[in-house]
Structure 1
Amino acid sequence: MRPVYLVEGVRTGIAKSGKRSWFTNVRADDLAAMVLNEVLERAEVTGKKREQVDDVILGGTYLQKEMGSNIGRMAAVMAGLPYRVGGCTVDRLCGSGLQSIAFGISSIAMGWNDMVIAGGVQHMTHIPMFTGVDPNPRLDEFCDPKMVRMGYTAEMVARKFNISREKQDQMAVESHAKAHRATEEGLFKGEILPIEAEVPLKEGGTKKMVVDRDQGIRPGTTMESLAQLEPVFMDDDKATVTAGNSSQTNDAAAAVLIVSEDKLKELGLKPKMKLVGYKVVGVDPALMGIGPAAAIPKVLQQAGMTVDQIDLWEINEAFASQALYCAEELGIRNHPLLNPRGSGIALGHPLGCTGARIATTIMHAMPDYNAKYAVESMCIGHGQGAAAIWEWVG
């Protein structure tokens, strides 16, 4: 197979979904089109060079309304790419953004394409979680039917593996502190595309604001403030999962530019990182959150690598209970570069975008930490886990 490289990556700020989302008045397809254009601009693929893009692959889920009608294709058209450039949309729930990147890399490695833009987008303000979902009434013949609610699976992981409320809240405090510190130090500036938006005001009306940071980070988060929150997914005396130790729902988009080695040389582009291995596995749907602990050993084996060879770890915090279990199971809970800039609890989890967002963050973070290898992983709704190993080549 042909060598393939990631040249550039960019994302929007991550807005917190709801009536006061910074992106309430920006559509998902507009967000996607903006990052498609920006990733080409930053890679200096401009003018006639844009005509050499072969395909656009975007991750997303709950594909209805503005997220429907193949948003991957619509965003490509709205970005002003030539009509001949194709576009498609991929839904692997929380792993959609990463899966889109993997598909783009695969198509180039096989010689079918030379330059692909891949990424993800989600607008959970306009299309809330579970919109249009109609679980089959026969699910109980195959699995625990309550697994369709991700919060329930987080509770199941906490109970099965004795992940205490205190441990979960501690991870949440750490996530917000890391994300706030990274924001204050300007560590996200290189990856975020500033976007001017009409932002809702608490007292009514809107104001123009340049969205160049993430909305959900709460720097004042403490163990004491989190302890006041009630569990939200179950209400018995064993319940430990709260809004404070869970990821947020969000609005955001991200994209990366993927290029063959030959096209790199032809256009004079500089590579930044490449994919060493990628693996998706299935797990018990009721224990959805353990996915990374199952996928990461598989991708390490695939690559002929071991845990101690990985310099930087990004395991999405869908819930603190599952992220903690995975980190402890892998023996990396105290690794100095485990989610060093925060993760889903603080930054948010815009489902279809998250995998592309993490890849973009890794791309910008690896040189800062002198990291050679990084792992990206996430649990995936309905009982899956995905993991990728990235190598810095810049």
Structure 2
Amino acid sequence: MNDPVIVSVARTPIGKAARGSFNITHGADLSGHAAEHAVARAGIDPALIEDSIWGCGYPQGVTGRNIARQAVIRAGLPVSIAGTTVNRFCASGLQAIAMGGHMIAAEGAKAVLVGGVESISGVQPPPDEAPNKWIMEHKPDLYLPMIDTADNVAARYGISRAAQDALGYQSQMRTAEAQEAGRFDAEIAPMTVTMAKKDKETGEVTHHEVTIAQDECNRPSTTLEALQGLKPVRQGENKFVTAGNASQLSDGAAALVMMDAKEAERAGVEPLGRFRGFAVAGCEPDEMGIGPVFAVPRLLERAGLTVDDIDLWELNEAFASQALYCRDTLGIDNDKMNVSGGSISVGHPFGMTGARMAGHLMFEGKRRGAKLGVVTMCVGGGQGAAGLFEIF
């Protein structure tokens, strides 16, 4: 079998959904921008790339019609590169990486472009929701809003509001520190777009050209006291989720170029890391956030590793309640997890996040001298996904 390695990473900054810089930017523009820069950074002949595999949480609207193929065309890449879009909700970008790795390892592909994209601004509220009648009668929790599943996890497993707010604050502070130190700069490709602004008093909408060069969702000036003062989104007993301890709705795209290690060597390309494995698992839909506690052990067992063997963890912070449960149940060292903050502060464009975290793992892992890293996600509908990476 061939040896899949990651040779380049590029992503857009992350914009606030609806109110941010990408609020009228098409999904093909987001994914095309990331793709163009990832291929340019790889420094390879684009004709070597066989396929474009992209994850998207809502592959419809401005991210519909096979956004993976659109990314190729929008990036100005050769039409010989095919494209397919994959959906595993929040783990879609990580799933795309796994599929790219499998194409190289099992099918002998020389190079594959992989990534993830989400334009929540362009698809919310979801236009194509059509719940199945039988499922609604027999397993309605499959359609349960994610906020409710997060509250369920907190109540069921005793995750206090105080602990959730503390994780939210930690995420904000870690992201602020990383941003100030420029630790995201190597992965971000700044982008100039047109943004729509609405006057609150008159309702007039105007358009402005803006250049976004860093993530715009985090709040570096926030305080723990401010987070503790926020009201839960849901009202009533055992309601914990607030705007401060949950991930933000946001827009963005991330791309990676993967190659066979021998092909990369022939091309004179120095890899950033290696894709080592991928595992998924299912769990009850009404507590979907705990999925990683089932996927991670399966991943590590296959690789002959333990939690303590992993130097760096990127565990998606969809909600503080589920991130805390997964961290503590798996026994992950807090100092090794989300060291630059997570989705609570950075933002969470659903299909992008897994690819973003894998890319950040390459750069931050090298900076820290880490050798092994895991990216793990909870997934809507009751799933967990986890990917193992070797960092060079």
TM-score range, shorter chain: over 0.9
The corresponding residue for 1:355 is 354
The aligned amino acid for 1:221 is: T
Q: Is the 8 A contact 1:62 1:131 kept in 2?
A: no
> Which residue does 1:220 correspond to in 2?
221
Amino acid at match of 1:275: F
Give secondary structure in 2 for the equivalent of 1:94.
coil
Check conservation: 1:283, 1:384, Cα contact below 8 A: yes
Determine which of 83, 90, 97 is the counterpart of 1:87: 83
Contact 1:316 1:323 in 2 (8 A): yes
Q: CA deviation at 1:140?
A: 4.2
Deviation of 1:392 (Å):
1.1
Partner in structure 1 of residue 102 of structure 2 = 106
The Cα of 1:149 is off from its aligned counterpart by 0.7
SS at match of 2:218: coil
Contact persistence 2:378–2:384 (CA under 8 A): yes
Aligned pairs for 1:235-384 (under 5 A) are 235-332=235-332, 334-384=333-383
CA gap of 1:55–1:146, structure 2 versus 1, over 3 A, is: closer
Give how far 1:261 is off.
2.1
In the TM superposition, residue 146 of structure 1 has moved relative to its aligned partner by 6.5
Residue number in structure 1 paired with 2:209: 208
Q: Aligned partners of 1:142, 1:252: CA distance in 2, in Å?
A: 36
Equivalent residue letter for 1:256: L
Note the alpha carbon deviations across 1:268-311, whole angstroms, 9 max, x for none.
11111112221010000111000111111111111100111111
Aligned AA (1:178)? R
For 2:311, the aligned partner's letter is: D
**Letter of the 1:158 counterpart:** A
Gaps of 5+ in 1: none
Q: Which runs of 5+ in 2 are unaligned?
A: 200-204
Specify the code of the residue in structure 2 equivalent to 1:214: D
Report the number of matched residues. 387
**1:147 Cα offset (Å):** 4.4
Look up the SS of the partner of 1:54 in the other structure: strand
Q: Give yes or no for contact 1:300–1:306 (8 Å, CA) kept in 2.
A: yes
**Alignment TM-score, normalising by the size of structure 1:** 0.95
Shift of 1:85: 1.2
Q: 1:313, 1:4 → 2: CA distance?
A: 20
Aligned to 1:16: 16
Q: Secondary structure at the match of 2:302?
A: helix
Deviations 1:56-79 (A, max 9, x none): 001112222221111111111121
Do the aligned partners of 1:61 and 1:91 also contact (CA within 8 Å) in 2? Answer: yes
Quick check: 1:163 aligned with 2:159?
Answer: yes
The CA deviation at 1:337 is: 2.0
* Residue deviations 1:11-70 (CA, integer Å, cap 9, x gap): 11000101x21112321101111111101111112xxx1112111001112222221111
CA contact (8 A) 1:122 1:350 kept: yes
In 2, the alpha carbon distance for the partners of 1:135 and 1:320 equals: 28
Contact 1:121 1:252 in 2 (8 A): yes
Counterpart of 1:118, as a letter, is V
3-state SS of 2:129 partner:
coil
- Aligned residue for 2:215, secondary structure, equals coil
**Residue in structure 1 matching 2:188, options 173, 188, 192:** 192
Seq. identity, %: 39
> Per the alignment, in what secondary structure is the counterpart of residue 382 of structure 1?
coil
Kept after mapping to 2: 8 A contact 1:143/1:286: no
What is the aligned-residue RMSD (CA, Å)?
1.5
Task: Verify the 8 A CA contact 2:142 2:381 in the aligned structure 1.
Answer: no
Q: Deviation at 1:360?
A: 0.9
Determine if contact 1:116/1:257 at 8 Å carries over to the other structure: yes
Query: Structure 1: how far apart are the matches of 2:293 and 2:70?
Result: 36
Q: Which of 87, 93, 97 is the matching residue for 1:97?
A: 93
What TM-score, normalized by structure 2, do the two folds share?
0.95
Name the residue aligned to 2:202: none
